[in-house]
Amino acid sequence: MPSSEPVVSEKRIISAKEALEALRSGAPERFHYHGEGGAYLDLRGAPLPALPDVGEEKIASLCRIVRGLVFAAVDGARSGHPGGSSSKAEMVVTLLASGVLGFDPLNPKHPGRDRVVWSAGHCSPLFHALVALVYETLRRKGLGLAPEARGAAVFPEDLARFRRFGGPSGHVESYAALADTSTGSSGHGISAGLGFAVLHRSCGLPARAFVIAGDAETEEGMTYEARNVASALGVRNLIVMLDYNGFGIDGPITDAMPYPYLNHWSSLGWNAIEAGGHNVRELAYALRLADEGFGAEKPTVIVCHTTKGKHYGKLEGAADSHGTPLPHPEYVEAMRKLGFDIPGEEGNVAADIALVASALHDEEAGYLEERLRAAAARLKPEAELRARMAAALRGRPMADYRSFERPAALPPELVFPEGGAVPTRKATEAWFHWAMRNSAFFYVGCGDLMKSILTGKAENVYGVIGKDNALGRGLRFGIAEQNMAMMSAAMAQDTLPGGFRPMSAFASYGVFAPMMANSVRMTLINNDVNPAAKAFFIVLAAHDGPETGEDGPTHHGLFWMSLFTAYPGIKVYKPLDANEAVEMLFQAARLGDPVAFSVARPPTPVLRRGDSVPPAIEAIHGAYVFKPYRENGRRKLAVAVSGGQVMANLLEIVPEIEETADLKIVAVTSPQLYEDLRRRDPLRASRVLSDQERQSVITLHNGWPGFLYPLALPGDYPARVFGMDRFSRSGRPPEIYRDAGFDAAGIREKILGLTK
């Protein structure tokens, strides 16, 4: 019989640690990681010869004046951001004087200019001071300004009204010279700069995008998304000047970011140059190396080692300098240490600013004027740039979205058979494909959902943008909704040589659309403060409503509209079927206003139209009478419906409802468009739904109930606005509709329950 004693192996069992040590001695190469970063150069303290056209002493003098204007503006406002503004002074003045930046102050929005993005948009004291220095120089030289340049200019005396209504703004806005998008939300500017860089590169143009950034922005997830895409695309015309002062608002950036800092850039494949952020020579060399194509075909970050709050009294080198003005006596002391014997009379900052501006002597002004001429000389004539772009895009229609006209007879691919069932995402797929073939300036992409949302057909017309296809029009962002939205919206803000305006469409599921909301908000602000740069873009909110039932509440797009209906400057479009979607896309392009566009995943009934049902083009008004009263003598009942499947379910029970009521059905595709109709043509809007009807209308929406609030007025039925107002559960779409009471039986119960 076998022994019951356990068998003990004579071979000793070694520990994991011992095995690791054996592996280390036998295969040491396994323990060395070689990151695939870009090129790297450290210029700090390097023996660099002087550059003949970089007047270091004169630039230092100009930086002193800029700091004086910054400190005075902040003291006058008792508000602002002196810390980062002061630490970046040498960075931005050297950029301006280096001969690298293409910029003409007499034509500050020249389409061939290099784009400048103040990702550190809170550094508006520095921004306004820099622009004031430029235009004070031109004024001293007697150079007159055309109206456009005057509207983009700031003068020193304007700084006395910094952060006052009508004065220079508290964050950077793009109406001004040397700013090409409005900024303020941390981290958004790197994505915007990437958008500008990709746009110009994809049109065969030489413009670069320079981004002025702070080191704490690297903490922002959106910047990680942007750094990934920029490196993957090899966008060498993107240059980030990064103020590495070591502090955010609350304290050291190392509180939230692991050291070494440079790994957050180089590990993503960026070229990196380190330089002393207050050393003009090192900064000028770094800029010229980046300009000439330093290292690999990658974007470049210039990490500028600086002191936060440089020369700002006791707050120098402290996180508190970020947004804390010095007490007035300490401000006076700091200004006098800078060499400005200001009056320092509290409440009379204009006198301080005038004294600082008077320190701009003829020698410094002459030097800056010469450097500005060098910057302007980099720009090619617009006609030459347009010809270059046309050559690069040969064979493509040189037209933008403003040329789109709805054909009198729609092409077959844009017409969907009535009575069938077609996902509305098929309509956007077809229209985007049509638009791509009719414009050289349409860009489309989505967040790693192309096969589901169906943007691929349009993307493939000219291919996906990449290292081997710089002229593509499709964009692959990965799972990165924030960067996707900011990058795409920034592209649509720009104006190309010849006056062409790009259009972009970017897509994710409706349930994820809120992640794009702040990027959209920033662009809507830009549209408002700078109408000349108004962007037209489409946020495609796919798989809207409960149609993704099986995925569960994580993917039910029920509530995303609440954000986008609150923002001014964008409208939510929700067509009921595929034919309405096509008509509403043409309308969106005609109006040129940004839209959030709802589409569904499963087949949605394509409504039958004819003598009694208006054509699909009526959807462009936001609401229309789908079914009028029969005038059958019964009590009148108006029902407003949004959502194709809701309409289909309602139509099933129309005969039953009309046994006791005279039913009118209003199809709602955009309450915001309907509100526009009420203002523009109140008589027509009243025929759709009168104020009397609005007091008793029943609204049905397969999502956030508030979407249809504008259709209803207070009346006899406080509970007559129906939507899906709770998180559902996983299930087939018909089950979800039934559970929410939006199947035919549930709609019958809602309506009849209110009409008893």
Length of the chain: 756
**DSSP states of 435-500 as a string?**
HHHT-SSEEEEESS-HHHHT-HHHHHHH-B-BTTBTT--EEE--S-HHHHHHHHHHHHH---TTS-
Q: How far is Cα 306 from Cα 84, in angstroms, rounded to an integer?
A: 9
- The predicted-structure confidence for 413-437, as pLDDT tens digits, reads as follows 999 999 999 999 999 999 999 999 9
Higher model confidence: residue 38 or residue 394? 394
pLDDT exceeds 70 at position 76: yes
Q: How many CB atoms lie within 10 A of CB 74?
A: 28
In this prediction, residue 716 carries a pLDDT of 54
For 128, 227, 617, the CA distances from 123, given in Å and listed in that order, are 9, 22, 48
Q: What is the mean pLDDT of residues 545-553?
A: 90
Given pLDDT bands bounded at 50, 70 and 90, which one contains residue 756?
low
Q: Are strands 635-642 and 623-627 parallel, antiparallel or unpaired?
A: unpaired
When mean pLDDT is compared across 202-216, 550-564, 639-653, the lowest value belongs to: 550-564
Q: What per-residue confidence (pLDDT) applies to 15? A: 84
Residue-level pLDDT at 700? 97
pLDDT single digits (tens) 125-184 = 999 999 999 999 999 999 999 999 999 999 999 999 999 999 999 999 999 999 999 999
**In a 10 Å sphere around its CB, with 0-12 CB exposed, 13-18 middle and 19+ buried, how is residue 26 labelled?**
exposed
Residue 411: helix, strand or coil by DSSP? coil
pLDDT in tens, 236-255: 999 999 999 989 999 998 99
Look-up: residue for tokens 């003949």?
52
H/E element, 387: helix 382-392
pLDDT at position 1 is 45
- Containing H/E element for 196? helix 188-201
Separation of alpha carbons 468 and 233, rounded Å: 9
- How would DSSP label each residue in 531-580? GGG--EEEEEEES-BGGGGGG-GGG-BSSTHHHHHHSTT-EEE--SSHHH
**CB–CB of 609/616 below 8 Å?**
yes
Peptide bond into 546 cis (omega under 30): no
Q: Give the pLDDT confidence score for residue 448 in this predicted structure.
A: 93
Task: Return the closest-CA partner of residue 578 out of 556, 607, 549, 539.
Answer: 607
Residue 553, phi then psi, degrees to nearest 5: -60, -20
Residue 281 dihedral angles phi and psi, to the nearest 5°: -65, -45
Which run of H or of E encompasses 121?
none
Which pLDDT score is estimated for 309?
96
pLDDT at 10: 56
Going by pLDDT thresholds of 50, 70 and 90, the confidence category of residue 11 is low
622-755: what fold? Rossmann fold (3.40.50)
CB atoms within 10 A of CB 412: 8
- How far is it, in rounded angstroms, from Cα 565 to Cα 235? 35
The pLDDT of residue 660:
92
| Segment 662-671 mean pLDDT | 97
Q: Name the band, by pLDDT with cuts 50, 70 and 90, for residue 610.
A: confident
Quickly list H helices, 98-185: 124-140, 147-152
Does the pLDDT at position 57 exceed 60?
yes
Q: Answer whether residue 718 shows pLDDT above 70.
A: no
Contact 173, 128 (CB under 8 A): no
Query: pLDDT by residue (tens digit) across 490-519?
Result: 999 999 999 999 999 999 999 999 999 999
Q: Residue 6: which pLDDT band, with cuts at 50, 70 and 90?
A: very low
Please state, in angstroms and rounded to a whole number, the distance separating the CA atoms of residues 23 and 198.
46
177 contacts 110 by C-beta, under 8 angstroms: no
Query: CA nearest 727: which of 736, 735, 717, 718?
Result: 736
Write down the domain spans for the chain.
Answer: 56-384, 401-604, 622-755
CB 527 within 8 A of CB 594: yes
Burial label, 263 (beta-carbon count in 10 A; 0-12, 13-18, 19+): middle
Q: What percent of the chain has pLDDT over 70?
A: 97
| Bridge pairing between strands 721-722 and 271-276 | unpaired
The string of pLDDT tens digits covering residues 375-409 is 999 999 999 999 999 999 999 999 999 999 999 99
What is the rounded average pLDDT of the residues 664-678? 97
Which residues are bridge partners to 661 per DSSP? 635
Question: What is the rounded average pLDDT for all residues in the chain?
Answer: 94
Phi, psi (rounded to 5 degrees) for 126 = -70, -45
* Res 752: pLDDT: 86
Give the 3-state secondary structure of residue 421: strand
Distance CA 191, CA 516 (A): 12
Strands 421-422 and 604-605: antiparallel
d(CA 251, CA 314): 16
Identify the pLDDT of residue 715: 66
H/E stretch holding 725: none
Is 622-755 in the same CATH topology as 401-604?
yes
Judged by DSSP in three states, 435 sits in: helix
Strands 474-476 and 442-446: parallel
Neighbours of 47 (CB within 10 A): 4
Tokens of 18: 């011992």
Superfamily grouping for domain 56-384: Thiamin diphosphate (ThDP)-binding fold, Pyr/PP domains (3.40.50.970)
According to the model, what pLDDT value does residue 287 have? 97
Residue scoring higher pLDDT (175 or 257): 175
For 638, half-sphere exposure in the C-beta direction (CA atoms, 13 angstrom radius) is 24
CATH of segment(s) 401-604: 3.40.50.970
